[in-house]
A and B are shown apart, each in its own frame.
Chain A
Amino acid sequence: MNAHPDGGRSGNALGAGDIPQMNWDQTGPEMKMVRDALFRHVGKPVRRKEDHRLLTGKGRFTDDFLLEGQTYAAIVRSEHPHARIISISADAALAAPGVLEVLTGADMVQDGIGPLAHNPLPSTKFDMKLCAPGGGIPFVGEHHALAIDKVRHVGEAVAVVVAETPGQAADAAELVEVEYEALPHVVDSAQAAAQGAPVIWDEVPGNVFVESSFGDWDATERAFATAAHTVEADFHVSRVTAVTIEPRAAVAQYDPETGRYELFAGSGGAVKHKGELARCFGIDANRIRVHSYDVGGNFGARNRVYPEFALVMWAARRTGRPVKFTATRSEAFLTDYQGRDLRTKVALALDADGKFLAMRADNLSNVGAFCVSLSPLSKGAGLITGSYDIPVAALRARAVFTNTMCTQAYRSSGRPEVTYAIERLVELAARKLGVDPLELRRKNLVHPEQMPYRNAVGQYYDSGEYEQNMDRALELFDWDGFAARKDEASQRGKLLGRGFANYVESSIGSPKERAEIEVFDDGRIEVVIGTQPSGQGHETSFAQVVADMLQVPVERVFIIIGDTDVVSVGGGSHSGRSMRHAGTVMAMASAELLALARGHAAEMLETAADELAYADGVFHQRGTNRSVSLQDLAARLADPLRVVTDNEMHTPVFPNGAAICEVEIDPNTFHVAITRYVSVDDVGRCINPMIVHGQTHGGIAQGVGQAMWELCAIDHDSGQPIAGSFMDYGMPRTDNMPFFISEIAEVISPTNPLGVKAGGEGGTTPALATVTLAVLDALAGMGVEDIAMPLTPQAVWQAVQDAANTQAKK
């Protein structure tokens, strides 16, 4: 990795002058007013408006939709990781009771349905741009809803059976006979990228389809060559799956008269799905209406279109009946888009005093059989230097195809991976230099005076007080009380360990968002927005924002999402974008609405607009008794009191924080218990602390889950996934989690009117590092220096055995 690779000289596409807009500059009296009006509701733990509905079973999840005459789809899936399809015989299935249709890839081609239009390359202005080896646009594979000539992962859809009942469909699916010619397979990214590996796509003979380099390679080499100290390490951040509580589902119908498809499918963003499905079907987007209301968990897995969404639409057209698909839990484990799976080789150069001089990274992302998203690779690429001021860095970022399920952005896409790498590397450096790891971190942190700070691969951190996060976390954790706790634990025969990590992450996301705000004559205010909550409480926190800006009670504000016939534009929810993008466009729309309303009010009261004062939803003519409310205006105007506002915002923000984990290990069973967990998270402006804490708690559980139990294990010889149910896939649960101590730090971002960063992913980002470092700390006395996730009792036992064997050999 030392040499500058020939290919992939793309670097970051940013030109030197291309600095993100750091200060939100849209002003005007109304914008000032809406910004000044905040804090009646904003910042308060307003109870979630959606909970009553959800807790009383009134949620509208996909499988709740029953369309008249609905039929059911079952999918025939590949049992091979890699095989050529010789033939498919549907005769027996077609003859089975209740079967209406059996469709294969050949039928799909005949009907002119193209591949899913994933658009995997991150393309907003400040994303790290990725290219093919040698430059150019990478070949990303063609992800057809049904395999055409060959299958490339276990679970790939090969045929779809439509029948009157779910049972009939499942029974008949077993009767579809598929003849395969097995091909050699490869599931591991390093093996797939090595010489002579089985080729997954003829178009990419070496399987590596992305190779880009970033940073300053020459300066990095020079720094390494003369550095007093260097450390390096090789990590694999394991593969996990989202395990949403609601399995993925879709139901579609087709109207032959209008030629319109209607799809009910919970996702991370209905508008985006509509556009991508239109491209897949080669039709105009207005011929598709997508509904996505309540969603039982996303975590990134639902951001991209699933093959079954296209299949139920197509089957509905073919059969003339609505068609529903609901994944079983087994199908979810096998074929939900998965997360992580990054190999990273990192090195750090330090001077004699422990100042960081340079960093090198070589990142290899396992995208699976088709490239659904390069967000994890790209996001991570921008943050390899973490929270530290490292003057120069050099990074090679590659992505490789394998015979595995596709990976996708998974909660905090790409960032836990690189946080894990840098924090473990810093810890190794501290050990090598014999210095306190916390002091080493402090010495190298980015300081508030450096903000906005350009890191060595070209990302601009907007704001943050990193050392303060550290101090606060250490205090909440009672870092200094650790020695006493360790003593106490050792008296009980237990090993105590602690792991600290700083983190910084980026929140970018789809740049466009639209808000429509309308005031009705009954006083109700509707806000149509294109984000898509899956538990984050948008109906509450967005309503808080608009209620403050328009100075009305939060109970009057209703957030409308999820029907693409109502919501025309919207980027969905991913990458921590929702509150920032929605908050910004809602602020703009609120300002516009007030400007519009002021004009009408002036007309109605026959006065000049600037004679009017606005407070508590009412325009009041100064020095008089005359006034008119927004509600009155709505009632009296001939036209709706409504604005539609668009915004495009590229500037990213950088949520950040510090977290600490304490574990207790039983040295006989090697069972690890998490006994203490502290997290301090700078989310920028916090709209609803109750919701943000909830997000932090869930985020921690999800990160800890990966570190401790979760793994999409695959048998390398057979290519078969071997953790296909909760029997084998371990999850965080109430009985294996401690109470969390979380604190919100609010360093207001200058990049948007509310000052929002993001609050959904910070819990996850440092957790892989904190847990692993805590376990390593507990095992330090046994000579264990490295351990791979998940840190199951077996893994800990094995690490201890290996260390003992190594020591015995010495």
Chain B
Amino acid sequence: MYQTTYHKGQSLDQVRKLHAELPEPSYISGGFTLIPAMKNRLAAPENLIDLRALPELRGITRDGDRLRIGAASCHAEVAGSPEVAQSIPALALLADSIGDMQVRHMGTIGGSVANNDPAADYPAAVLALGATIITDQREIAAHDFFTGMYATDLAEGEIILRIDFPVPRSAGYAKLRNPASKYAIAASFVARGSDGSVRVAVTGAGEDGVFRWFDAEQALADRFETASVEALQPDPGMMLSDLHGSAEYRAALVKVMTARAVDAQGSVDIC
């Protein structure tokens, strides 16, 4: 790790000021993505500004048909929250399936979404549920937010305060974990909105990170059953290929995981 200076954030104004004025700044939340990158000398922020104590990033509340999750909520808080369990049980169970116990008590939803790892879990839920990312500057719809592998629409210094999820009629998540990293090799989040619309978001498999599988959405909107998915053929051309899965294998998995997520409405299917 390179030399760095840690600043504990006290207020939104203060952290924004620090970020604007200090050389090579970076926000840090749980640090479970950033710190490993720093240890491997792949990231070298000179100043780390910790967001976790800011009140604007804390708390999980149900507000009418919206579930609001503060960006600094760690995965264990989301997994253990009665509000989440009652509103979107698949989201609580998704959080409970992230990494291991240590990861779940340190990693945060804001950090995960800001980082947009192509195999991270939350981006699939955020995209499929049509959530809104609330920042210190604006509100960004999920489908505008994720712009490619490790890329988001966030501007330099922009802070995610919370994520607002419309409560769906039902949602389910299915994932096959990479036996090494335990991240998703392929995972699919299938949500049915209160208006009957269907959204399918796939993580772990796409060459460009999380993506919506529109063919499946359409087929499922017509008939919400696994058979609708089984008739489809995801395109290997848009899949990731690495040591753990070829593009062809991932394409096959996308179908299997999506069908399982349909089956798992109200829950998750993790293997």
Cα-based distance from A801 to B176 in the complex (angstroms): 19
In contact, B41 and A797 (Cβ under 8 angstroms): no
- Known A-B contacts A669-B256, A792-B244; the reply to A726 vs B181 at CB < 8 A is yes
Of B249, B252, B253, chain A has the most CB atoms within 10 Å of the CB of B249
In contact, A671 and B176 (Cβ under 8 angstroms): yes
- For B186, give the chain A residue with the smallest CB separation: A669
- For B250, give the chain A residue with the smallest CB separation: A794
Q: Which of B3, B243, B248 contacts A713 (CB 8 A)?
A: B243
In contact, A794 and B181 (Cβ under 8 angstroms): no
Interface string of A267-307 (1 = CB under 8 A from B): 00000000000000000000000000000000000000000
CB-contacts of B163-188 with A (<8 A): 176, 178-181, 183, 185
Q: Which of A328, A668, A794 contacts B246 (CB 8 A)?
A: A794
Cα-based distance from A668 to B186 in the complex (angstroms): 13
In contact, B181 and A727 (Cβ under 8 angstroms): yes
- Chain A nearest CB from B67 CB (Å) reads 30
CB-contacts of B87-130 with A (<8 A): none
- Known A-B contacts A167-B1, A668-B256, A671-B271; the reply to A728 vs B249 at CB < 8 A is no
In contact, A798 and B181 (Cβ under 8 angstroms): no
A731 close to B (CB within 8 Å): yes
- For B183, give the chain A residue with the smallest CB separation: A727
- For A731, give the chain B residue with the smallest CB separation: B180
Cα-based distance from A174 to B40 in the complex (angstroms): 13
In contact, B243 and A708 (Cβ under 8 angstroms): no
CB-contacts of B214-271 with A (<8 A): 243-246, 248-249, 252-253, 256, 271
Cα-based distance from A330 to B36 in the complex (angstroms): 12
- For B259, give the chain A residue with the smallest CB separation: A668
Cα-based distance from A109 to B265 in the complex (angstroms): 68
- Chain A nearest CB from B177 CB (Å) reads 9
B2 close to A (CB within 8 Å): yes
CB neighbours of B178 from chain A (8 A): 730
Cα-based distance from A723 to B179 in the complex (angstroms): 13
- Known A-B contacts A671-B271, A728-B181, A792-B179; the reply to A723 vs B243 at CB < 8 A is yes
In contact, B246 and A798 (Cβ under 8 angstroms): yes
Interface string of A155-188 (1 = CB under 8 A from B): 0000000000001001100100000000000000
- For B40, give the chain A residue with the smallest CB separation: A330
A435 close to B (CB within 8 Å): no
In contact, A730 and B180 (Cβ under 8 angstroms): yes
Interface size on B, residues (CB 8 A): 23
A722 close to B (CB within 8 Å): yes
Of B176, B180, B181, B248, chain A has the most CB atoms within 10 Å of the CB of B180
Cα-based distance from A666 to B179 in the complex (angstroms): 14
In contact, A728 and B252 (Cβ under 8 angstroms): no
CB-contacts of A655-669 with B (<8 A): 666, 668-669
CB neighbours of B3 from chain A (8 A): 167, 171
- Known A-B contacts A666-B271, A723-B243; the reply to A797 vs B249 at CB < 8 A is yes
Interface string of B12-27 (1 = CB under 8 A from A): 0000000000000000
- Chain B nearest CB from A187 CB (Å) reads 15
In contact, B185 and A793 (Cβ under 8 angstroms): yes
- Chain B nearest CB from A331 CB (Å) reads 11
CB neighbours of A666 from chain B (8 A): 271
In contact, A727 and B253 (Cβ under 8 angstroms): no
Q: Which of B243, B244, B271 contacts A669 (CB 8 A)?
A: B271
CB neighbours of A668 from chain B (8 A): 256
In contact, A722 and B176 (Cβ under 8 angstroms): no
- Chain A nearest CB from B32 CB (Å) reads 13
Cα-based distance from A170 to B38 in the complex (angstroms): 13
CB neighbours of B244 from chain A (8 A): 728, 792, 794
Of A708, A726, A730, chain B has the most CB atoms within 10 Å of the CB of A730
- Known A-B contacts A167-B1, A797-B252, A798-B246; the reply to A728 vs B179 at CB < 8 A is no
CB neighbours of B253 from chain A (8 A): 669
A729 close to B (CB within 8 Å): yes
A607 close to B (CB within 8 Å): no
- For A713, give the chain B residue with the smallest CB separation: B243
CB neighbours of A328 from chain B (8 A): 39
In contact, A171 and B2 (Cβ under 8 angstroms): yes
Cα-based distance from A708 to B243 in the complex (angstroms): 14
Cα-based distance from A120 to B245 in the complex (angstroms): 38
In contact, A736 and B41 (Cβ under 8 angstroms): no
- Chain B nearest CB from A703 CB (Å) reads 16
A139 close to B (CB within 8 Å): no
CB-contacts of A751-810 with B (<8 A): 792-794, 797-798, 801
CB-contacts of A693-751 with B (<8 A): 708-709, 713, 722-723, 726-731, 736
- Chain B nearest CB from A73 CB (Å) reads 17
CB neighbours of A671 from chain B (8 A): 176, 271
In contact, B179 and A793 (Cβ under 8 angstroms): yes
Q: Which of B179, B183, B185 contacts A709 (CB 8 A)?
A: B179
- Chain A nearest CB from B72 CB (Å) reads 25
In contact, A794 and B245 (Cβ under 8 angstroms): yes
- For B271, give the chain A residue with the smallest CB separation: A671
CB neighbours of B243 from chain A (8 A): 713, 722-723, 728
- For A670, give the chain B residue with the smallest CB separation: B249
- Chain B nearest CB from A587 CB (Å) reads 46
CB neighbours of B40 from chain A (8 A): 330
- Chain A nearest CB from B40 CB (Å) reads 7
Of A171, A668, A798, chain B has the most CB atoms within 10 Å of the CB of A668
- For B175, give the chain A residue with the smallest CB separation: A669
- Chain A nearest CB from B175 CB (Å) reads 10
In contact, A736 and B181 (Cβ under 8 angstroms): no
Cα-based distance from A728 to B40 in the complex (angstroms): 15
- For B181, give the chain A residue with the smallest CB separation: A727
Q: Which of B41, B180, B252 contacts A170 (CB 8 A)?
A: B41
Cα-based distance from A769 to B1 in the complex (angstroms): 42
CB neighbours of B271 from chain A (8 A): 666, 669, 671
Cα-based distance from A330 to B1 in the complex (angstroms): 13
Cα-based distance from A707 to B184 in the complex (angstroms): 21
CB neighbours of B181 from chain A (8 A): 726-728
Of A167, A669, A736, chain B has the most CB atoms within 10 Å of the CB of A669
- Chain A nearest CB from B31 CB (Å) reads 17
- For B245, give the chain A residue with the smallest CB separation: A794
In contact, A728 and B180 (Cβ under 8 angstroms): yes
CB neighbours of B183 from chain A (8 A): 727
- Known A-B contacts A330-B40, A668-B256; the reply to A726 vs B249 at CB < 8 A is no
- Chain A nearest CB from B26 CB (Å) reads 18
Cα-based distance from A174 to B44 in the complex (angstroms): 14
Cα-based distance from A170 to B249 in the complex (angstroms): 40
Cα-based distance from A170 to B253 in the complex (angstroms): 42
Q: Which of A167, A669, A727 contacts B180 (CB 8 A)?
A: A727
CB neighbours of A713 from chain B (8 A): 243
Of A727, A731, A794, A797, chain B has the most CB atoms within 10 Å of the CB of A794
Cα-based distance from A708 to B176 in the complex (angstroms): 16
Cα-based distance from A708 to B179 in the complex (angstroms): 9
Interface string of A617-644 (1 = CB under 8 A from B): 0000000000000000000000000000
CB neighbours of B252 from chain A (8 A): 797
- Chain B nearest CB from A788 CB (Å) reads 14
CB neighbours of A728 from chain B (8 A): 180-181, 243-244
- Known A-B contacts A170-B41, A722-B243, A798-B246; the reply to A793 vs B180 at CB < 8 A is no
Cα-based distance from A620 to B68 in the complex (angstroms): 84
The 7 closest A-B pairs by CB, nearest first: A730-B180, A730-B179, A727-B181, A668-B256, A797-B249, A794-B245, A709-B179
Q: List 12 A-B contacts (CB under 8 A).
A: A171-B3, A669-B176, A669-B253, A669-B271, A671-B271, A728-B180, A728-B181, A730-B180, A793-B245, A794-B185, A794-B249, A797-B249
The chain B residues found within 8 Å of chain A, CB to CB, are 1-3, 39-41, 176, 178-181, 183, 185, 243-246, 248-249, 252-253, 256, 271
Given contacts A669-B253, A726-B181, A801-B248, 15 further A-B contacts (CB under 8 A): A167-B1, A167-B2, A174-B41, A666-B271, A669-B176, A708-B179, A723-B243, A727-B181, A728-B180, A728-B244, A731-B180, A793-B179, A793-B185, A794-B249, A797-B252
